[in-house]
Structure 1
Amino acid sequence: MKKSNNTDLWVHSLLQKANVKLEPQGSTILEIDKALKTASKNGSGKVGFPEFVGIVKDFILVIEDKADVAKHIKHNTKNVICTSTKHIKDYAVNGALFYAQHLIKNTSYKKVIAFGISGDEKKHNISPIYVDTTEYYRELPEVESFISFNEDNIDEYYTREILKEKTNKEKELSEILKDAAELHEDLRNYGNLKDIDKPLIVSGILLALREEEFKNFSIDDLTSDEVNTDGEKIYKAIELNLKRAKVAPEVKRDKILSQFSIIKDTQVLNETNETLKKTPLKHFAEFLYSRIYQSIKWTNSSEDYLGRFYGEFMSYSGGDGQTLGIVLTPKHITDLFCDLVDIKPNDTVLDPCAGTAGFLIASMHHMLAQTDDKKKRKHIKQKQLHGLELQPYMFTVATTNMILRGDGKSNLINENFLKQDVGKLQLKGATIGMMNPPYSQGSKKNPDLYEIAFTEHLLNSISADGKVIVIIPQSAVTGKTKEEKAIKSNILKHHTLEGVITLNKDTFYGVGTMPCIAIFTTGEAHPKNKKCKFIDFRKDGFKVAPHIGLIETQQAKDKKQHLLDVWFNRIKSENKFCVETTVEAEDEWLHSFYYFNDEIPTEAEFEKTISDYLTFEFSMIMQGREYLFDDEVSDETE
Structure 2
Amino acid sequence: MAKGTNERITENIVRDTLRNLGYYEPNNGITIEEQKSEIAKVKALLSKSSKNQKGNSGYPEFIISNKLDPNFLIVFECKPDTKKHASFKLDKPVDFAVDGAIHYAKHLSEKYTVLAIAISGTTLDSLKISNYIFPSENTPYKELVNEHGHQVTEILPFEDYYRLSSFDPEVAKKRHSDLISFSRELHEFIWAKAKVSEEDKPLLVSGTLIALMNNSFQKTYSSLNSDDIQEAWINAIKKELNKAEIPQGKKDTMIQPYTAIAVHPNLGKPDTKTAIEYPDGVFKELIDRINENVWPFISIYHDFDVVGQFYGEFLKYTAGDKKALGIVLTPKHIAELFSLIANVHKDDIVLDICAGTGGFLISAMQHMLKTAVTEEERLDIKKNRLIGIENSPKMFALAASNMILRGDGKANLHQGSCFDEAITASIKKSKPTVGMLNPPYSQSKSDAELHELYFVKHMLDLLQKGATGIAIIPMNCVISPHLAKQELLNKHTLKAVMTMPIELFYPVGAPTCIVVFEAHTPHLKAHKKTWFGYWREDGYMKTKHLGRIDLNNKWSSIRDRWIESYRNNEIHPGESVSAHVTADDEWVAEAYLETDYSTITKNDFEKVVRDYAVFKMLNEVN
TM-score after normalising by structure 1: 0.65
| Contact 1:321-1:327 within 8 A present in 2 as well | no
Q: For 1:238-257, what aligned pairs fall within 5 Å after superposition?
A: 238-246=237-245, 248-257=246-255
Quote the Cα distance in structure 1 between the aligned partners of 2:290 and 2:205: 8
Q: Does 1:193 align with 2:196?
A: yes
| Shift of residue 548, structure 1, vs aligned partner | 0.9
- Give the conservation status (yes or no) of the 8 Å contact 1:195–1:320: no
Say yes or no: does 1:381 pair with 2:382: yes
CA contact (8 A) 1:217 1:237 kept: no
Higher relative contact order (CA 8 A, sep 6+): 1
Q: Does 1:341 align with 2:342?
A: yes
Aligned twin of 1:236: 235
Q: Deviations over 1:366-411 (max 9, x none)?
A: 0001112111111110111000101111110110010001116431
Secondary structure, counterpart of 1:284 in structure 2: helix
How far residue 306 of structure 1 moved from its aligned partner, in angstroms, is: 1.0
Shift of 1:565: 1.3
> Considering only aligned residues, what root-mean-square deviation do their CA atoms show, in Å?
2.6
Q: Any idea what SS the aligned residue of 1:523 has?
A: coil
| Equivalent residue runs for 1:36-55 within 5 Å | none
**In the alignment, what sits opposite 1:620?**
none
Structure 1: gaps spanning 5 or more residues: 1-107, 109-149, 154-165, 614-638
How far apart, in 2, do the equivalents of 1:587 and 1:295 lie?
46
Q: CA deviation at 1:318?
A: 5.6
Structure 2 distance, partners of 1:318, 1:364, is: 34
SS at match of 2:175: helix
Determine whether 1:363 maps to 2:364. Answer: yes
CA distance in 1, matches of 2:329, 2:386: 19
- Asked whether the 8 Å contact 1:442–1:451 carries over to 2, the reply is no
Q: Distance in 2 between matches of 1:152 and 1:478?
A: 46
Between stretches 410-419 and 381-390, larger displacement belongs to 410-419
How far 1:505 sits from its partner (Å)?
Answer: 1.1
- Contact 2:217 2:236 survives alignment (8 Å): no
Per-residue deviation, residues 542-578 of structure 1 (Å, max 9, x unmatched):
11112110111322212111111111117x3323100
Question: Contact (CA 8 Å) 1:431, 1:467: kept in 2 or not?
Answer: yes
SS in 2 for 1:286: helix
Is the Cα contact below 8 Å between 2:212 and 2:218 reproduced in 1? no
Amino acid at match of 2:257: Q
**What is the CA distance between 1:151 and its match in structure 2?**
8.4
Distance 2:444 2:522 in 1: 26
Distance in 2 (CA, whole Å) between partners of 1:516 and 1:496 is 17
In structure 2, C-alpha distance between the alignment counterparts of 1:203 and 1:310, rounded to whole Å: 10
Q: Deviations over 1:409-468 (max 9, x none)?
A: 431111111334655532121111101010025624225x11111101111111111010
2:509 counterpart residue number = 512
2:441 paired with 1:439: yes
Secondary structure of the residue that 2:208 maps to in structure 1? helix
Cross-structure match for 2:316: 315
Shift of 1:170: 2.8
Determine the C-alpha separation between the residues in 1 that align with 2:322 and 2:258: 20
Counterpart Cα distance in 2 of 1:408 and 1:384 = 8
Q: Give the equivalent residue in structure 1 for 2:579.
A: 581
2:202 partner amino acid: P
User: 2:184 & 2:522 partners in 1: Cα distance?
Assistant: 48
Which residue of 2 is the match for residue 412 of structure 1?
A: 413
Matched residues in 2 for 1:223 and 1:499: separation? 58
- Counterpart among 147, 171, 174 of residue 174 in structure 2: 171
Paired with 1:203 and 1:587, the residues of 2 have a C-alpha distance of 44
User: C-alpha distance in 1, partners of 2:480/2:365?
Assistant: 33
Asked if residue 259 in structure 1 is aligned to residue 257 in structure 2, the reply is yes
Aligned to 1:197, the other structure's residue is in SS state helix
Deviates more, 1:185-194 or 1:170-179: 170-179
Whether the aligned pair in 2 keeps the contact of 1:245 and 1:408 (CA below 8 Å) is no
Runs (4+) of structure 1 exceeding 4 A deviation are 150-153, 214-217, 318-321, 421-424
Asked if structure 1 preserves the Cα contact closer than 8 Å seen for 2:217 and 2:232, the reply is no
Decide which moves more: 588-597 or 414-423. Answer: 414-423
Are 2:555 and 1:556 equivalent residues in the alignment? yes
Q: What are the residue-to-residue correspondences of 1:280-319 with 2, within 5 Å?
A: 280-300=282-302, 302-317=303-318, 319=320
Which shows bigger deviation, 471-480 or 494-503?
471-480
2:494 corresponding residue in structure 1 = 497
Percent identity of equivalent pairs: 33
Secondary structure, counterpart of 2:212 in structure 1: helix
Secondary structure of the residue aligned to 2:483 is helix
Q: Residue 225 of structure 2 aligns to which amino acid in structure 1?
A: T
3-state SS of 2:471 partner:
strand
Asked if structure 1 preserves the Cα contact closer than 8 Å seen for 2:322 and 2:508, the reply is: no
Cα offset, 1:494, TM superposition: 0.6
Letter in 2 for 1:561: D
Which of the pair has more CA radius of gyration? Answer: 1
What's 2:141 paired with? none
Give the alignment of 1:77-92 within 5 angstroms.
none
2-side partners of 1:424 and 1:295: how far apart? 35
Query: Separation in 2 of the partners of 1:411 and 1:400?
Result: 13
SS of the equivalent of 1:518 reads strand
**Distance in 2 (alpha carbons) for counterparts of 1:278 and 1:436:** 42
Structure 1 residue 600: Cα displacement: 5.7
Query: Structure 1 pair 292/600, CA: closer, same or farther in 2 (3 Å)?
Result: closer
Distance 1:451 1:442, change over 3 A: farther
Aligned to 2:352: 351
Superposed CA deviations along residues 169-205 of structure 1, whole A, max 9, x for unmatched, are 3322221111111111111111111110101111111
Q: Is the 8 A contact 1:381 1:410 kept in 2?
A: no
Q: Which residue of 2 aligns with 1:133?
A: none
Q: What residue number does 1:69 align with?
A: none
Aligned length: 436
2-structure distance, mates of 1:332, 1:373: 28
CA distance in 2, matches of 1:478, 1:321: 24
2:455 aligns to what?
454
Structure 1 residues 291 and 453, CA gap change in structure 2 (3 angstroms): same
SS in structure 1 opposite 2:199? coil
CA pair 175-269 structure 1, distance change in 2 beyond 3 A: same
Name the structure 2 match of 1:268. 266
CA change 1:215–1:472 in 2 (3 A) is: closer
Name the structure 2 match of 1:209: 212
Code of the residue aligned with 1:545 in structure 2: it is T
Q: 1:304 to 1:439 in 2, by over 3 A?
A: same
Rounded Cα–Cα distance in structure 2 between residues aligned with 1:561 and 1:216: 41
Equivalent residues of 2:356, 2:399 under 8 A apart = yes
Classify the secondary structure of the residue corresponding to 1:505.
coil
> Are 1:569 and 2:568 an aligned pair?
yes
Distance in structure 2 (CA, Å) of the matches to 1:463 and 1:541 = 35
**C-alpha distance in structure 2 between counterparts of 1:365 and 1:320, whole Å:** 34
Alignment of 1:20-169 (within 5 A): 167-169=170-172
How far did residue 516 of structure 1 move? 0.7
SS at match of 1:340: helix
CA distance in 2, matches of 1:215, 1:234: 7
Aligned partners of 1:216 and 1:237 also within 8 Å: no
Letter aligned with residue 436 of structure 2 = M
Question: Which amino acid letter does the alignment assign opposite residue 437 of structure 1?
Answer: P
In the superposition, the TM-score normalised over structure 2's length comes to 0.67
**Is the CA contact (8 Å cut-off) linking 2:389 and 2:418 kept in structure 1?**
yes
* 1:442–1:450 Cα contact (<8 Å) kept: no
